[in-house]
């Protein structure tokens, strides 16, 4: 449905949809072996506040590094991909994307910006602010889950889909490849995808970024249990869980979760479910894969995308890459 508010916001994800999805994910994830919870449930209002605090921590470099890339190279990106429509997945406040919007407007191509996010209140505030700042630009919002609603992307010529913030790294490899396949179906030949990817580096540097000395990341990851308490009436005692972050060298990713401090029973009344946790048993809450250029290029090429631009911050810690959807003849030629 589309609201009558201005800017227009198309809603594909209602509160009841979110409640049903949370109940499904909790039931499936906490009855699996090993146990897991999807990272998207970390981001309730308090979780968003904690994540914003994380981005300001001295140890957490990705946000600053990606902003540095866009500040230095937004003009080059706009020249390589002169999009008429820019669609941002997981847009949030669209803070960093404003650099890209400004560059595309300066280049004379951009006519429309579409913010796509799961959090309706945040999205509405962001598109309203952007609409005031860019009066000549058509601004729209889409409330949806980019794991379920990418087939609802607005149509239009010369689109570029931006997926920034390193969020691609939250997908394990099968889900990442599924994402690329969906994007290949959604975009027309000649259109672009812009990715923000954190790069492989010294594990000590990585672990410090995801296990900060002040404990903000620990509070953020543990907050998913508070979400389940609030939404499903569970009785998780957050003080009885320890935060765990480790570097998996084989898969080149940070793995985060919570570990039960002693055996315990947890009741989840909304699911009529009793959860038994052994001492030391872990619940995975998030992964953050790290990338190399050759791997990004290979995965894109396998799904019909040609890497046409690669930019990094001065330290080479984070990359923003641009890929163009190829035609069938282009794919055969490659």
- Token representation of residue 323: 């890929």
Q: In tens digits, what is the pLDDT along the chain, a chain of 334 residues?
A: 444 456 889 988 888 988 999 999 999 999 999 999 999 899 888 998 899 999 999 999 999 999 999 999 999 999 999 999 999 998 777 788 899 999 999 999 999 999 998 888 888 888 888 888 888 899 999 988 877 888 888 888 899 999 999 999 999 999 999 999 999 999 999 999 999 999 999 999 999 999 999 999 999 999 999 999 999 999 999 999 999 999 999 999 999 999 999 999 999 999 999 999 999 999 999 999 999 999 999 999 999 999 999 999 999 999 999 999 997 534 434 4
In angstroms, rounded to a whole number, what is the distance separating the alpha carbons of residues 251 and 248? 6
What are the C-alpha distances in Å from 34 to residues 174, 198, 260, 276, 282? Answer: 17, 26, 13, 13, 8
1-334: CATH, from 1.20.1510.10, 3.40.50.150, 3.40.50.1820, 3.40.1280.10: 3.40.50.150
Q: What is the CA angle 159-164-169, rounded to 5?
A: 125
Predicted confidence at residue 334, as pLDDT, reads 43
Predicted confidence at residue 252, as pLDDT, reads 97
Predicted confidence at residue 93, as pLDDT, reads 75
Long-range contacts, 275-280 (Cβ 8 Å, 24+):
275/30
Predicted confidence at residue 118, as pLDDT, reads 83
The model's pTM is 0.91
Give the strand order in the sheet containing 282-289: 35-36, 282-289, 253-260, 241-248
291 DSSP assignment: B
């Amino acid at each position: 449905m589309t609201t009558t508010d201005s800017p227009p916001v198309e809603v594909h994800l209602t509160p009841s949809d979110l409640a049903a999805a949370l109940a499904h994910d909790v039931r499936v994830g906490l009855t699996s072996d090993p146990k897991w919870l999807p990272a998207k449930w970390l981001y309730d209002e308090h979780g968003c506040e904690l994540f914003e605090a994380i981005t300001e921590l001295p140890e957490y470099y990705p946000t600053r590094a990606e902003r540095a890339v866009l500040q230095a190279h937004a003009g080059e990106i706009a020249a390589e991909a002169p999009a008429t429509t820019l669609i941002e997945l997981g847009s949030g406040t669209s803070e960093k994307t404003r650099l890209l919007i400004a560059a595309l407007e300066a280049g004379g191509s951009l006519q429309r910006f579409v913010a796509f996010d799961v959090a309706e209140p945040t999205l509405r505030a962001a598109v309203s602010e952007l609409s005031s700042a860019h009066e000549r630009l058509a601004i729209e919002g889409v409330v949806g889950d980019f794991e379920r609603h990418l087939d609802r992307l607005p149509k239009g010529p010369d689109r570029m889909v931006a997926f920034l913030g390193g969020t691609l790294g939250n997908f394990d490899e099968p889900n990442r490849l599924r994402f690329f396949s969906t994007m290949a179906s959604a975009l027309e030949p000649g259109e672009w995808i812009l990715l923000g990817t954190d790069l492989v580096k010294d594990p000590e540097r990585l672990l410090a970024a995801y296990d900060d000395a002040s404990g903000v990341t620990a509070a953020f990851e543990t907050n998913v249990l508070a979400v389940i308490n609030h939404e499903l009436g569970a009785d998780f005692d957050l003080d009885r869980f320890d935060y765990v972050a480790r570097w998996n060298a084989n898969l080149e990713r940070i793995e985060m979760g919570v570990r039960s401090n002693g055996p315990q029973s947890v009741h989840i009344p909304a699911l009529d479910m009793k959860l038994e946790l052994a001492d030391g048993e872990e619940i995975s809450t998030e992964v953050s894969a790290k990338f190399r250029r050759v791997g990004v290029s290979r995965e894109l090429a396998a799904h019909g995308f040609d890497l046409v631009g690669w930019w990094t911050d001065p330290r080479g810690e984070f990359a923003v890459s641009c890929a163009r959807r190829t035609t069938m003849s282009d794919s055969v030629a490659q």
